[in-house]
Each structure stands twice: as structure tokens, then as C-alpha cells.
Amino acid sequence: MTSHIQIFDTTLRDGEQTPGVNFSFDERLKIAKQLEKWGVDIIEAGFPASSSGSFKSVEAISKTLTTTAVCGLARCVKKDIDAVYQSTKEAVKPRIHVFLATSPIHRDSKLMMSKEEVLASIKEHVAYATECFDVVQFSPEDATRTELPFLIECVQTAVDAGASVINIPDTVGFSYPTEYGKIFKTLQESIKTNHEVIYSAHCHDDLGLAVANSMSAIENGAKRIEGTLNGIGERAGNTALEEVALGLYVRQDHYGNQTQINLEETKNTSDLIARYAGIRVPRNKAIVGQNAFSHESGIHQDGVLKNPETYEIMTPQLVGVKTTELPLGKLSGKHAFSEKLVALGYDVDAEEQKELFKQFKTIADKKKSVTDRDIHALIQGTEHEQNAIYKVEALQLQFVSNGLQSAVVVIQDKDGNTYQDSSIGTGSIVSVYNAVDRIFNRKTELIDYRIESVTEGTDAQAEVHVQIKIGDQIVTGVGIDHDILLASCKSYVEAHAKYVSNSEVKEGIHS
């Protein structure tokens, strides 16, 4: 008999705690819609009490999703619980996730609370949350470093106060599979209750064990797995949900459990999140990496040609990887283009499609065949331009002397105001970035600069990723253009713009 494993996605909460990741309001909404399409049971949409930006996006996601439960995070503080209630009340299934740290190091060094005070706070706030929510989830933060007898006491207190989901966070990625599994077994044997309790796993990948620990939790009775797509998250990240979903599917014989994940949407979902997070998936990443289904050695290739099952435990098609892509060309019409957009997982309205088609024709005139990667680049570039708070209007470079370059940069904000400045530097990029810094009048530190060619050939589009530090905040920007210098400038301006728009959104919560 198979039973259902709930998939709880926290890409928009824990995933956004990845250094340098700041999703915009629109991006959050698009991610939530795609996660619903992928089939997750619950989306943790944010931490509404942390900022008005988070509150508004949780509220908008609650109003938008039609089947998926929407959850908000709350500390053991009444105003946090109220904020989750207010922001999720229009969701089809509103949910709350209340947490409090329980480990000795967190009690003594962070909370300054005794065991008795921790228990009293759990009791009070879980009970308070049950007044507005049918389903209340409680997490003893840093559970895996909590004394087991005290952990049992905390969980019993939460269950007695009405919690029906108990999540066990391995907050610092410290546990190993047999130990983590045993916690679930012990809790189920020890907790006394007459209502149903679902146990949930929440792992971090500091020792590379997040997925292994989650699978061990399932073997020991967990019915919910928390994590993110591509495993993004604070430090080494969270449990990669696509790996859990496929692990359960491919090894059904062993786990005997199923999820409601629409596996064919896996690649599209992963791509979307990689794009908005600005974090490329490593080539060798399980399930969604570029090499996950490539066979290099002759013996393997020969085997796969004779029978794919010789070296493949799952097909690329299963997770939505297209192996035989049909490129578009000069003669492709609107219909073929629109079908391609759907196949690549893009949800664009008619107006947008018209604009994109025009740009597609320009590319098709230059290139013999327009590949899927060209289309991705086209849409990414357009999305960036549309969402941009500032647009690069003009960029001019001139060689001065002794290797010095001078740059003039003109940018425009959404209201049409233009700003310009100039600067010199020891190379083109430095001079451009100095000029942009002068426009924003900010001191920055360039942490990372990366150029990738998005498409093949000498007419490839360049995608530049930058990471800069402004004050104590790290922000990222992406710029796409045929011209590398212009792409560099766009990415840098975007990073500056993100600092403006997201200075209050970042949530400093570890769970």
C-alpha cells in the first residue's frame, strides 16, 4: 500500500535566504504559480511580519493560487501570528508555521530563555495560532542539537496545544541519516495524542546529507518533506525537492510512497528558479543538471543506443528534459513560436507574445536556426528589461591613455527621469562600474563577475552575472545583451536597483 508524502516548498522563504537572492514581487508570484503547476502540497510564501514586502507577496500569492496551501512563517510572537493570519486569510488553504529554538546553544546564547520559558511560550503561541488556523505546524528550531528528552517535551507541549504538524529542522545541517531517522521513530513512539500528527523533515545541506536525511525521515514515518528547488537556501542550501520527488518515484519498490508532483514540470520549474535566483544549476547536479542525462563513454553510449535502460534509471522525458529539440527558423510562424513558448513552460499573454515574436524574427534573420536556448535568452532578456527599475539608455567608451578608459553612462528610471555620469578606470568594465557608482552615489565592492554565453556561435548573446556588496548587503544582477559591455553595465545597474527595492525585504530568520 502506498501512502502520500506531502511536499512543502520553502523556496520563497528559506530559499530566499540564499546570500544574494532577492526575488522581486512579480518573480515571487511567478514562482508560486509554477510551484503549483509542479504540484507541491504547500508553499511557504514568506515571513509576513518581517517586512511589508513579504506581507504583500504572501497576500498576493494567497489570492492567486487555486489548489495549493499557502503557509506563512511566524516566531512565537502574537504579532507574527496575526500577520500570517491577515496575509493568508484569502488562500484556499491557509496555513501557519510557528517556530521556536529549543537547543541549549539557542536557549542560552540567542533566546536567553530557560527550558520552562521555552515550553510556556510554545504552549501559549501554538494555542493562539489554533484560534485562527485549522492546521498549525510547529518547528523546534535546531531540533537535531536539542536534548532528545527535552525535544520530546517540546513536541508534546505543541501537540497538546493543538499542533497537527510537527516539523523537525536540522537547522545547521548537523545530523546524519540513521540519527535523524531515529528522532522521527522516537517521537512517534513517545508522543501521546488522540488527534492525527504529521511529522515533517526540514534539512540543510552543510554536510551534503540533506536529501539522505530526508529520505531516512521517510523510512521512519515522516509524511512531509520541506525543501527548495535546486536545493537553494542559506549556506549550503536546503533539501533539493526534485531529488526527493524522483527518489520516491524511481525507488517506489523501497519507499512505497508517492507524491503528487507533476514530474514532467520538474525541469521547467528548476529553470525558472535558477533564472530568478541568478544561481545556475551545476552541470553534474542530479535530475536537473545539464549532464544528468548525457553519456560520454563509448561503452555507455553503445549500451544506451541498444537499450536506454542499460545506463538510465529514468528517462529525461520523465522530468521534462527535451532531448530532441526542434529548432525554429526564419520561416517559423506565430503558431510554431507560441507552441514553443508553451513547451518551454512560459506563460505569456497575447500582448507580450506579439512583442516577443517581433524580436524572435530579428534573431531568426541573423541565425540559421533558433534553438531553445536562444528562446530562453530572448525571454530572459525581455523579462529583465520589463522588470527593470532603471534602464541603461546609453553607454559610451573612449580610450584615454596608458590603458585608461573613460565611460559615460546614462540610465533612466521608470518615470522617465534620466541620470548620467562619467568616470575613468583601468579598463572598460572598471570605468563603466565607476560611472554607475557615481550615479547612485554609493560605495560598492565587486564580489563576483561572470560572463556566460547563453547561446552557441559567434553571434551568441552574453549573460553577465555580478554580485556586489553595498553596506552589509550582498545583491546580484544579471544583464543580457549581444554586447558584453552593455550586458555588464545592465547587470551592475540591476544590482544597484535591487539594493534600493529590497533593502527592507530580506528576512533574517533561520529555521
Separation between Cα atoms, residue 96 and residue 86, nearest integer Å: 11
Provide, rounded to whole angstroms, the least separation between the CB of residue 238 and Zn ion: 6
Told to check if 205 binds Zn ion by CB under 5 A, we report: no
Site string for Zn ion, 353-392 (x = CB under 5 A): ----------------------------------------
Q: Contact, 166 vs 141, CB < 8 A?
A: no
Separation between Cα atoms, residue 170 and residue 103, nearest integer Å: 11
Comparing C-alpha atoms, which of 384, 378, 374, 429 is closest to residue 407?
A: 429
Told to check if 153 binds Zn ion by CB under 5 A, we report: no
Q: How many residues make contact with Zn ion (CB under 5 A)?
A: 2
Kindly tell me which of 87 and 511 has the beta carbon lying closer to Zn ion. 511
Kindly tell me which of 11 and 88 has the beta carbon lying closer to Zn ion. 11
Told to check if 16 binds Zn ion by CB under 5 A, we report: no
Q: State which residue has the least CB distance to Zn ion.
A: 14
- The grid coordinates of residue 434 equal 565607476
Kindly tell me which of 156 and 239 has the beta carbon lying closer to Zn ion. 239
- The grid coordinates of residue 358 equal 517581433
- The grid coordinates of residue 208 equal 551534503
Determine whether the annotation assigns residue 14 to a binding site: yes
Choices 13-21, 27-35, 355-363, 443-451 (CB under 5 A): range interacting with Zn ion: 13-21
Determine whether the annotation assigns residue 204 to a binding site: yes
Concatenating the DSSP letter of every residue in 452-495 gives: EE-SSSTTPPEEEEEEEEETTEEEEEEEEESSHHHHHHHHHHHH
Separation between Cα atoms, residue 34 and residue 44, nearest integer Å: 14
Separation between Cα atoms, residue 63 and residue 91, nearest integer Å: 6
Kindly tell me which of 144 and 380 has the beta carbon lying closer to Zn ion. 144
Kindly tell me which of 14 and 41 has the beta carbon lying closer to Zn ion. 14
Among 11, 13, 14, 95, binds Zn ion (CB under 5 A): 14
Sites for Zn ion among residues 275-304 (CB under 5 A): none
Angle CA 89–95–96, to nearest 5: 105
Determine whether the annotation assigns residue 465 to a binding site: no
Strand order in the sheet with 390-399: 390-399, 405-413, 418-425
Kindly tell me which of 215 and 328 has the beta carbon lying closer to Zn ion. 215
Amino acid symbol at 353: Q
| 3-state SS class at 202 | strand
Provide, rounded to whole angstroms, the least separation between the CB of residue 225 and Zn ion: 13
Determine whether the annotation assigns residue 202 to a binding site: yes
Choices 11-19, 28-36, 298-306, 367-375 (CB under 5 A): range interacting with Zn ion: 11-19
Kindly tell me which of 9 and 437 has the beta carbon lying closer to Zn ion. 9
Choices 9-17, 72-80, 376-384, 431-439 (CB under 5 A): range interacting with Zn ion: 9-17
Q: Contact, 98 vs 129, CB < 8 A?
A: yes
Kindly tell me which of 137 and 405 has the beta carbon lying closer to Zn ion. 137
Told to check if 9 binds Zn ion by CB under 5 A, we report: no
Site string for Zn ion, 98-127 (x = CB under 5 A): ------------------------------
Site string for Zn ion, 482-511 (x = CB under 5 A): -----------------------------x
Separation between Cα atoms, residue 209 and residue 167, nearest integer Å: 18
φ and ψ of 200, to 5 deg: -130, 145
* Helix H or strand E encompassing 352: helix 350-366
Separation between Cα atoms, residue 500 and residue 414, nearest integer Å: 14
Site residues for Zn ion per CB under 5 A: 14, 511
From the annotation, which residues make up the binding site for Mn(2+)? 14, 202, 204, 238
